Amino acid sequence: MQQRTLGPFTVSAIGLGCMNLSHAYGAPVSAEQGERVLLAALDAGVTLFDTATLYGFGANETLVGRVMKPHRQRFTLASKCGMQGVDVAGDGKLVRVIDGRPATLRQTCEDSLRRLQTDVIDLYYLHRWDKQVPIEDSVGALADLVRAGKIRSIGLSEVSAATLRRAYAVHPIAAVQTEYSLWTRNPEIAVLDACRELGVAFVAFSPVARGYLCGGLTDVSTLDAKDIRRAMPRFAPEAYAVNLALLEGYFAIARQVGCTPAQLALAWLLHRGGHIIPIPGTTSVEHLHDDLGAASVQLDAATLAALDAAINQHNVVGPRYSAQSASEVDTETFA
């Protein structure tokens, strides 16, 4: 496995996003299947594992902690705070809440350390910037956690270049995590270059476009009722039908290169910059090994240009988030 730099760490060029095992795409897999995927990733050379307080409202951290505790020295552990499930109504039902107040972040960290069964989290992200709290205050609280030895480095998720610079003035930022793939080019507006300038790793989540670039999802009506893609405009039936048509040319490029569609999507990201680290997620060991094969795929300039032309911000139909979700992030958007 190729290696890349993430803050003070050297990690595999492709990490594992653990969310899919517990959250967002329908019913979570069994604990046994989650364990198989996590250990298969470790055995295959993956050394960056990414989870969050939000995923499964703590269930994903609990799974990662239980399975990975015996191997803690073999990988870099990333988790996130600032967005979690809260029993707002007092009826036992957890609701997603964004809360970046320093006291909340300190408590969330303690809860994460307990679930992850570790003394320190290597990379701790602010999952969302709480726009009611100055970014300097939230990052200042995370800096206190670094000094206390609770976390080793700080990350930010879904922030703009301007917010990254404000945060970096308070404490060095090891990584910015944002959605990035052929069909989500927002990082190219400014934050990707800002990361390169500041020496910040860029961690790309949803690098295969939430399954779109794998080619297996042809009928969105088959999605689970609780699948988050049902609320995403690009996956609305009319928009998705148009977006599906873009895949014909994309698949032709994959055949020409001699790789799978998922490998092509990940290889494109790896070629976009040495500071980019994609973290695909999966519930399947077979798919995991397919994803990791992208590290050996070589793309020449002509192929990269063909990919850029095939799927981009000009021909994909629909924004990536609903209006409500879009209001919760700080990433730049195209006009």
- d(C-alpha 106, C-alpha 150), whole Å: 10
Could you give phi then psi for residue 232, rounded to 5 degrees?
-100, 125
Give strand ranges (E) for the chain: 3-6, 9-12, 16-17, 48-50, 76-81, 83-86, 95-98, 121-126, 151-157, 175-179, 201-205, 276-278
Contact of 25 with 224, CB cutoff 8 Å? yes
Pairing of strands 95-98, 83-86: antiparallel
Which of 25, 55, 240, 321 is an active site residue?
Answer: 55
What are 271's strand-pairing partners? none
Is 25 tagged catalytic? no
Nearest-CA neighbor of 283 among 59, 9, 23, 84?
Answer: 23
Contact of 68 with 27, CB cutoff 8 Å? no
**Residues annotated as part of the active site:** 55
